[in-house]
Amino acid sequence: MQNVYLNYATPVFIILIILEILVSRHRKFKAYRLNDAITSLGCGIFTVSVELFLKAGLLILYGYLFIHASFYQFAENSWVTWVVFFFVLDFVYYWAHRWSHEVNFLWGVHVPHHQSEEYNLTTALRQGALQDTVHWPIFMTLAIMGCPPLVFITHLTFSKFYQFWIHTRLINKVPLIEGILNTPSVHRVHHGINDEYIDKNHGGVLMIWDRMFGTYEEEKAEAVFGVRKPYHSWNSVWAHFEWFAYLWNAVKSASWKDKLLVWFKPTGWVPNQQADSFESFDVTQVKKYDTKISTALNAYCIFQFALVMIANSALLQVPLALEAQIALTLYIAFALITVGLILLRGKDYPRSWAIYHQLANLALVPLIWNSSMIGAIILMGISFLSIPIYLFAHKRSMKNHSDVNPMIQETA
């Protein structure tokens, strides 16, 4: 069901992103960077690819609890049901979102959404691949309360889609609804790492919960975006696991007690270090992370990312056997990792790695062949074609000497 909604919404998302780019250029306002936008979109694509294997089971579990464990089953065709659970889900969403900022392991599944140091419509699509799965036990409370599955998934999807438009710097405060509904202004506060903005404005659609529980903050100073432990990478796959790796490394030599507690402690807590260790710094000194690569290598990254988008569309819309779905997901992951490394390293990305990437793609062909012989042949063609295209782009890059090392480029 959610994939059906997503299929209808995706063209709208793309049109609005293009419109935001055009408007920002017309206003001479720098809202986008290619490397950041590709990484944000890549996070979203990786998320929906992974969720393809997870969401069906979670929805089955939700339906089972609704039938066998609910206190009372509300009628799906009653307007009262839809109105009541709109508010209930938004309330539950507030707490799931708030806890995701306050607890280490929950922050780990949510942090990809905050890693971007830009704030535009692609940031809205930068979702955590494991976030909904980890949040599912929280949302199961709606099944026990008797919310029908269709009402639940429709409201949850609406909440996510509603929050798309609020990820922009082009819209200032919106009269009449500020402080009542989530808006670009109050959500910029949520994404800000300014001292006064940390852990504020967790509401999904409504801001009444933030007002009730003391987490509401109006936009005053200009927000600086990102996370206080910056993610200096364009790898949109590793983004989903980086925080867990950080916590794991932080407790390697710790006691068994701390190895267990670290996951449930306040966000940022590690042994011998306070939970606010990332919070005390001068926000005026924060600089955006950026890397520059040649036009030729940028073009190659765009080419590979376009193929990823096509593969993701096929994965979501074409009936495929399980092994073919796994193969396409691996293809998407391999490509996103490769694109991220090229955006990071430019001409220093080893040519042999590009070849290994395409050889890995060829290894996926047998998994696709039975479901779609044409798809398998296309994958072989893409793999063989990508190698000379990359070698040509790399050669042009070496001639132009246009790549520079990763650097902190501009003050936020």
Instruction: Taking residues 246-253, report their average pLDDT.
Output: 89
Percent of the chain with pLDDT over 90: 75
| pTM, two decimal places | 0.92
Task: Choose from 5-9, 387-391, 407-411 the range with maximum mean pLDDT.
Answer: 387-391
Confidence class of residue 408 from pLDDT cuts 50, 70 and 90?
A: very low
At 412 the pLDDT is 44
* 266 SS3 class: strand
Q: Are strands 287-290 and 407-411 parallel, antiparallel or unpaired?
A: antiparallel
Query: Exposed, middle or buried by CB within 10 Å (0-12, 13-18, 19+), for 209?
Result: buried
- What does the chain come to in residues? 412
At 403 the pLDDT is 58
Give the chain's count of helices (H) and strands (E): 16, 2
Alpha-carbon distances, residue 14 vs 168, 277, 383 (angstroms): 14, 38, 27
CA distance 279 to 152: 36
CA distance 224 to 118: 9
Look at residue 9 and tell me whether its pLDDT is greater than 50.
Answer: yes
CB 159 within 8 A of CB 186: no
Which of 44-48, 245-249, 347-351 has the lowest average pLDDT? 347-351
Does residue 364 or residue 272 have the better pLDDT? 364
CB 218 within 8 A of CB 189: yes
Look at residue 387 and tell me whether its pLDDT is greater than 70.
Answer: yes
Query: Exposed, middle or buried by CB within 10 Å (0-12, 13-18, 19+), for 2?
Result: middle
Q: Which residues contact 37 (CB under 8 A, 6 or more apart)?
A: 118, 120, 122
At 1 the pLDDT is 52
Look at residue 135 and tell me whether its pLDDT is greater than 60.
Answer: yes
Q: Over the stretch 295-352, which tens digit does the pLDDT of each residue have?
A: 999 999 999 999 999 999 999 988 899 999 999 999 999 999 999 999 998 888 888 8
Q: Over the stretch 184-222, which tens digit does the pLDDT of each residue have?
A: 999 999 999 999 999 999 999 999 999 999 999 999 999
At 275 the pLDDT is 46
